[in-house]
Chains A and B, each alone.
Chain A
Amino acid sequence: MTLSNVDTEGLRSTSRKQEFGVAPTEHILDEFPLTSAYDVAIIGAGPNGLMAAAYLVKAGLKTIVLERRQEIGGGLATEETLFPGYYTNPHAFYHMMTDYMPIMSDFALNSHGLFFVKPNTQTAGIFSDNSSLILYNQIEDTKDSIAKFSASDARTFGKLMRKWRKIVSEVIAPGTYVPPISPIDMIETFEKTEIGREVLRLSEMSPAEIIDENFESDRVKALLLYVACMWGLDPNESGLGFMVPLMVDRAMNKAQCYGGSHKLAGALSREILSEGGTILDNAEVTEILVDSGRVTGIQLFDGRQIEARAVLSSLAPPLTFGRLIEQEDVPPEMIESASLWEWDKWSFATMSLVSQEPPVYECDDPSVNDALMVVMGFDSLDQVLDHFSAVIAGKLPESIGGHATVETRYDPTLPRIQGHQVSFFQVHAPYEVQGGWDEQGPVLVDNLITLWKRHCSGLVDSNIVMNSLETPIDIETRLSSMVRGSIKHGDYHPLQMGIFRPHDSCVGGRSPIEGLYLCGASSYPGGLVIGGPGYIAAGSVAEDLGAGKWWKEPEYVRRYVSTYMQTIG
């Protein structure tokens, strides 16, 4: 079914030809028409915009995706930042929901050459005395490693992880792909099951309390708290404790995209194009057009207008409602949401590095070198707490700690010179640092290399070919969606999560402006490449436009809906 009302076929723009006075046969001057009409226009070709587009185009809706950058993908970027000859993934690298994301089964993405590598050796912690702790994908392997530090922690971890994995698979992972319900309804339905009650209990606790309550070894606590909070939880804040099981479980379930994260964007774009969708890059949207409370389309930087019955924005409220729409057309609750929106409480600074030989960790367990992520710099819970308090306070922590990955360990395609290695070391960092990044950047690089060398003596200067640093300002420069380097388009705190993300008048991605939908990381359930916001918004749009919703929620989602989303009232 095609719902298109105006067809752009044969409508190439002739204005340029008139301007230059050339013959109509001069096809190099053909351009996208000044006005065109679509069913759906999507602002931003990040993972969420692309996923929404892939579903909608296949539902028969005439769909166009507009991207400001020269390259699609948003956070799914693979770029030659180490020039010349070495690619790296400056943004998303760890793919944490490949086992759940519905796109993985709804589309034949691997037919485009896309695949993920998910090693068993997942996350390692190396401590100052070169001892190590490894979180494997397999629980028993992980227990073996924990037992080096505490036999009782190993047992606890085994039991706890069994429970936490149930929480993830029964509640949190499926909840990622359906619109949220209100806290009051949640309390009602979650009380019904044991798992549900545990979720409610954890919600009241802070991550630090949860970790501290269960474990005794300081090193075990340090690593677990780091992985629980590294994507944006305040260790001392209660209200989001239910995310601790998810984060720890995902620290044992990360995958790497072979060929670089951008390949996921490439594969999605091919699904969109082959079903008749359109993607324009170098096409910044500067206005969302609203007429009498209803969206009518969008306008591009150059004045081109695209009519659309539905507009999906992957941008956060301050951009969507604060900048792209005439303020008189924005309902008061969204003006408020735009002005109260809190960007991420910290961002990342990432040093990428090319070396002739890989960094080889010297520690008690050589299999650390197989780990997708190696955490360094934290021996105790307190050090982790100090680390996050410092970044939240807007400072670079005095004692450096963070996580590193040898990207070429499982993906040899990134360096053009065979045998050379590409790695990165990433730390949490505030948007602004005292003295400015120009001054502090090189100091940070020195500190990171010093720490890295302490654990890998082979990482001597003669082994290092080059390095580069991406600061939070750089993140914002590449991706204007990530204001202040907000990798999730907005902070994770209780008032910006669940039904409040971005606002409780936008459930299911439907905004109070008719025809305008929100589909980005600032919408429920949140940021990272998890596929939730795009998937949920696509469902709402297909329903509202009366298009055939050709996809079915996965079985695990349906089970969640019938158990946890049926309220009596």
Chain B
Amino acid sequence: MSDERFDVVVIGGGHNGSTIAAYLAKSGLSTCVLESRPECGGGQENTEVRPGFRIDPHATYLYGGAAPGFDQLELWKYGMRMVYYASMAGVATLDGQAANLGGRWRPDLGDEAIKRHSPADLQGPGRIFDQLGEDASRQLLRALFWTPPHPQGLEVNPEDMPWWQVFRKYLPNLYFKELIDMSYVDFLDNFVQWDPLKVVGAFGAWYCGAHPDWEGMLLQSLGGTLLYSYASGAPRGGMHTYAHAIIRCAIANGARVMTNAPVGEIIVSNGRAVGVKLSQDAAFPEKTIWADKAVISGVDVKQTFLGLVGKSHIDPSFAQRVDDISLKGGSLFVMSVICRELPRYHNDDRYFPQEVYPSCVIAPADSFEYFRVQTRDAYSYKKSPELTPEHLTMMICTHDPYDSTRCPDGYHVLSPIYLEVPPPQYDVTGPLGINRHKEEITKAALGVLKQLAPNMTDGNIVDVFVNTPYDSEFRNAGMVGGNWYGIRQSEDQWFSNRPLPELSRYRTPIDGLYLCNQTSHPGGLCLMAVPYNLMHVLIDDGVVTPKSWWYPSPFYVSDPKPGTSNIKTPTDIGGTSISSVDSQALAASEEIR
């Protein structure tokens, strides 16, 4: 099989790899995606495990609603289509409480519930986001997630970080300096009174990748929840449909996609990445594919350097730093339950009537303290999981009340039910440890579910499917730790520090090799954000010339030209400029329509 040549070769057709391929192909570059599995999509998978029933073993909700990608890539043309849910969240406790918190399309549900349970929580900073409108929410989210990290060496006052700029602009009355150093837990302790509401906030944030206990990550944690409520729904048919739309956009714009094409090696010549070699078990064993302009790695940072580049092209100290990148942050034990009736919490339909059934119920949410113990346990080395009900707070999700494609009439699918557990790498009994407890954990979790919703009897439950983080890692070669954010999303590994400071601008010590996986900023979730951010750098490096549909982040700071120090000072991007640049970007996006 003869060699082939493209402008750009993308390794891995997961969410981020496919999206950058779509961006580049639409910009006119000849682009090739090499995916090791028979099908693209990575973590965006749905599986019809039982005929007629579709479960979500990994990703389930659409967090990327504010992505410029929906506009720039026009995914609707390729079948992307959302289903909007009346209620995105509910909460229930073992001691008999339950509340429907609604979502973006039905904010009244949440207001009413909070009024009933904890009127004090209706006002104040605790409900920051309800005070942001559509436009401000989008700008805040874009500042947090759709902004490339600043160049190294640029000194910015913490309060001038893009997200704080937007916050100050839209919520001046709620802004005070102490927020910057707070963790989300500090914030919840200070401003929220009702414990179940705190658990929901913390669990929501945790599930978005930025753990609520991490210092200095308040807005990131909050931002995760805002991402969740922003789209308030999921793609019709499940997340894999979203993956289809992205990959079809890439192909329609000329990209070549090869599946069963695991890359075994990134070819480095004179310090530059010039192509890749497929591995032995590829559809074309050991085929070489040359990249004239760039090689983009859509696989995790550890595999990229320690596996594909190889130690002969990187120095040992760098290799050690890559090896040391922390995977901690908890991982997900995923259950999928097929049943005839939806859980009827506390045996009372009135909590969650069918028309506004919360797509996700966080329960049991009795005590914030217990929840913190549970998360602490998921972060430290553990021998065996604690399986008392208080330690089994779960996210119990269902889509079928809103999306009829998920199962036949007369049935329901609770999928996924997420439970936090340590990544397999951090299990003292070895990575397989979690699988030894699979049945025990499932049994305990279903027991708690039955305690909350007495109708979840054996007779109601038709089938149960479980994937542990260990299974997830095997199912998807890219998911180190079986987790959903790649590597820990703490301040030490976020923005200009992600995955390492010198890699944060997506460039690498190897010329022509760029990173485009969730292990880069802004991390996990299918946001089309890593590729959007990477585009800025590729444009700066002359790899790609933007077309009229492209608009950059208003907060993007170019690199200093060699020899000069034209790094913008913080004031340049602060205060007044954000609104003007942002409105320019908005105007640009209007124009192309």
Cβ-based interface call for B154 (8 A): no
Cβ-based interface call for B466 (8 A): yes
- From A79, A278, A282, contact of B47 by CB (8 A): A79
Tell me if A26 and B38 are in contact (CB < 8 A): no
For this complex, 9 residue pairs linking A to B, each with C-beta atoms less than 8 Å apart, are A16-B84, A23-B135, A70-B238, A81-B48, A273-B251, A274-B252, A280-B79, A413-B260, A416-B471
Q: How far is the CA of A413 from the CA of B82 in the complex (A)?
A: 32
Q: How far is the CA of A258 from the CA of B284 in the complex (A)?
A: 11
Tell me if A27 and B70 are in contact (CB < 8 A): yes
- From A24, A28, A83, A110, contact of B465 by CB (8 A): A83
Do A31 and B283 form a contact, CB below 8 Å, given A70-B241, A273-B252, A416-B475? no
Cβ-based interface call for A259 (8 A): yes
Which residues of B, 547-593, contact A by the 8 Å Cβ criterion?
Answer: 586, 589-590, 593
Closest approach, in angstroms, between the C-beta of A144 and any C-beta of chain B? 32
Tell me if B54 and A276 are in contact (CB < 8 A): no
Tell me if A263 and B38 are in contact (CB < 8 A): yes
Q: Measuring CB to CB, which residues of chain A are less than 8 angstroms from any residue of chain B?
A: 8, 10, 12-13, 16, 20, 22-32, 70-71, 78-81, 83-85, 87, 110-115, 258-260, 262-263, 266, 269-270, 273-274, 276, 278-283, 412-413, 416-417, 470, 473-475, 477-478
Tell me if B471 and A85 are in contact (CB < 8 A): yes
Q: How far is the CA of A281 from the CA of B283 in the complex (A)?
A: 27
Q: How far is the CA of A28 from the CA of B260 in the complex (A)?
A: 32
Neighbouring A residues of B80 by C-beta, 8 Å = 30
Tell me if A259 and B82 are in contact (CB < 8 A): no
- From A27, A113, A278, A282, contact of B236 by CB (8 A): A282
Q: How far is the CA of A41 from the CA of B244 in the complex (A)?
A: 19
Q: What 5 A-B pairs come out closest when comparing CB atoms?
A: A259-B38, A27-B70, A282-B237, A113-B258, A474-B51
Neighbouring A residues of B134 by C-beta, 8 Å = 22-23, 26
- From A85, A258, A262, A270, contact of B251 by CB (8 A): A270
Question: Which residue on chain B has the smallest CB distance to residue A10?
Answer: B593
Neighbouring A residues of B256 by C-beta, 8 Å = 111-112, 270
Neighbouring B residues of A282 by C-beta, 8 Å = 79, 81, 236-237, 241, 405
Looking at B78, B251, B260, the one whose CB has the most chain A CB atoms below 10 A away is: B260
Question: Which residue on chain A has the smallest CB distance to residue B477?
Answer: A416
Do A112 and B258 form a contact, CB below 8 Å, given A23-B135, A84-B465? yes
Neighbouring B residues of A70 by C-beta, 8 Å = 46, 48, 54, 237-238, 240-241, 405
Do A266 and B39 form a contact, CB below 8 Å, given A113-B259, A274-B254? yes
Do A32 and B76 form a contact, CB below 8 Å, given A85-B471, A282-B405? yes
A-B contacts besides A28-B64, A70-B240, 7 pairs, CB < 8 Å:
A31-B82, A85-B474, A258-B260, A270-B251, A273-B251, A276-B252, A477-B52
Neighbouring A residues of B105 by C-beta, 8 Å = 20
Q: How far is the CA of A20 from the CA of B233 in the complex (A)?
A: 13
Tell me if A83 and B49 are in contact (CB < 8 A): yes
Q: Mark B237-268, 1 if CB is under 8 A from A, else 0.
A: 11011001000100110101111110000000
Cβ-based interface call for B439 (8 A): no
Cβ-based interface call for B10 (8 A): no
Neighbouring A residues of B258 by C-beta, 8 Å = 111-113
Question: Which residue on chain A has the smallest CB distance to residue B68?
Answer: A27
Tell me if B76 and A25 are in contact (CB < 8 A): no
Which residues of B, 387-430, contact A by the 8 Å Cβ criterion?
Answer: 405, 408
- From A13, A114, A477, contact of B283 by CB (8 A): A114
Do A470 and B51 form a contact, CB below 8 Å, given A113-B283, A283-B79? yes
Q: How far is the CA of A273 from the CA of B250 in the complex (A)?
A: 9
Q: How far is the CA of A24 from the CA of B248 in the complex (A)?
A: 24
Closest approach, in angstroms, between the C-beta of B310 and any C-beta of chain A? 21
- From A26, A29, A30, A259, contact of B259 by CB (8 A): A259
Cβ-based interface call for B298 (8 A): no
Cβ-based interface call for B281 (8 A): yes
Question: Which residue on chain B has the smallest CB distance to residue A82?
Answer: B49
Neighbouring B residues of A27 by C-beta, 8 Å = 70-71
Q: How far is the CA of A10 from the CA of B591 in the complex (A)?
A: 12
Tell me if B70 and A30 are in contact (CB < 8 A): yes
Closest approach, in angstroms, between the C-beta of A162 and any C-beta of chain B? 34
Neighbouring B residues of A32 by C-beta, 8 Å = 76-77, 79, 81
Neighbouring A residues of B523 by C-beta, 8 Å = none
Neighbouring B residues of A25 by C-beta, 8 Å = 71, 586, 589-590
Neighbouring B residues of A23 by C-beta, 8 Å = 134-135
Cβ-based interface call for B499 (8 A): no
Neighbouring A residues of B261 by C-beta, 8 Å = 113
Neighbouring A residues of B238 by C-beta, 8 Å = 70
Do A112 and B257 form a contact, CB below 8 Å, given A78-B38, A85-B471, A266-B39? yes
Closest approach, in angstroms, between the C-beta of B496 and any C-beta of chain A? 28
Cβ-based interface call for B65 (8 A): yes
Which residues of B, 29-69, contact A by the 8 Å Cβ criterion?
Answer: 37-39, 46-49, 51-52, 54-55, 57, 62, 64-67
Neighbouring A residues of B95 by C-beta, 8 Å = none
Q: Mark B65-106, 1 if CB is under 8 A from A, else 0.
A: 111001100111111111010000000000000000000010
Do A84 and B38 form a contact, CB below 8 Å, given A25-B590, A30-B76, A477-B51? no
Neighbouring B residues of A111 by C-beta, 8 Å = 256, 258
Tell me if A79 and B38 are in contact (CB < 8 A): no
Cβ-based interface call for B467 (8 A): yes
Neighbouring A residues of B57 by C-beta, 8 Å = 80, 83-84
Closest approach, in angstroms, between the C-beta of A110 and any C-beta of chain B? 8
Neighbouring B residues of A78 by C-beta, 8 Å = 38-39
Tell me if B466 and A84 are in contact (CB < 8 A): yes
Tell me if A279 and B49 are in contact (CB < 8 A): no
Neighbouring A residues of B46 by C-beta, 8 Å = 70
Question: Which residue on chain B has the smallest CB distance to residue A276?
Answer: B252
Q: How far is the CA of A273 from the CA of B589 in the complex (A)?
A: 26
Q: How far is the CA of A278 from the CA of B84 in the complex (A)?
A: 24
Tell me if B51 and A13 are in contact (CB < 8 A): no
Closest approach, in angstroms, between the C-beta of A479 and any C-beta of chain B? 9
Neighbouring A residues of B260 by C-beta, 8 Å = 113, 258-259, 263, 413
Q: How far is the CA of A475 from the CA of B52 in the complex (A)?
A: 10
Closest approach, in angstroms, between the C-beta of B43 and any C-beta of chain A? 14
Cβ-based interface call for B166 (8 A): no
Cβ-based interface call for B231 (8 A): yes
Q: How far is the CA of A81 from the CA of B81 in the complex (A)?
A: 26
Neighbouring A residues of B283 by C-beta, 8 Å = 110, 113-115, 258-259
Tell me if A281 and B241 are in contact (CB < 8 A): yes
Tell me if B76 and A31 are in contact (CB < 8 A): yes
Q: How far is the CA of A4 from the CA of B63 in the complex (A)?
A: 36
Question: Which residue on chain A has the smallest CB distance to residue B261?
Answer: A113
Looking at B76, B135, B466, the one whose CB has the most chain A CB atoms below 10 A away is: B76
Q: How far is the CA of A298 from the CA of B261 in the complex (A)?
A: 38
Neighbouring A residues of B593 by C-beta, 8 Å = 10, 24
Neighbouring B residues of A81 by C-beta, 8 Å = 48-49
Neighbouring A residues of B65 by C-beta, 8 Å = 28
Question: Which residue on chain A has the smallest CB distance to residue B476?
Answer: A416
Tell me if A478 and B257 are in contact (CB < 8 A): no
- From B38, B48, B77, contact of A478 by CB (8 A): B48
Q: How far is the CA of A280 from the CA of B244 in the complex (A)?
A: 9
Q: How far is the CA of A87 from the CA of B476 in the complex (A)?
A: 13
Neighbouring B residues of A22 by C-beta, 8 Å = 134
Do A478 and B254 form a contact, CB below 8 Å, given A273-B248, A279-B248? no
Neighbouring A residues of B467 by C-beta, 8 Å = 83-85
- From A28, A115, A262, A474, contact of B231 by CB (8 A): A28
Question: Which residue on chain B has the smallest CB distance to residue A274?
Answer: B251
Closest approach, in angstroms, between the C-beta of A111 and any C-beta of chain B? 7
Q: How far is the CA of A297 from the CA of B526 in the complex (A)?
A: 35
Neighbouring B residues of A417 by C-beta, 8 Å = 474
Tell me if A13 and B76 are in contact (CB < 8 A): yes
Tell me if A262 and B39 are in contact (CB < 8 A): yes
Which residues of B, 208-256, contact A by the 8 Å Cβ criterion?
Answer: 231, 236-238, 240-241, 244, 248, 251-252, 254, 256
Neighbouring B residues of A278 by C-beta, 8 Å = 77-79
Neighbouring B residues of A26 by C-beta, 8 Å = 134
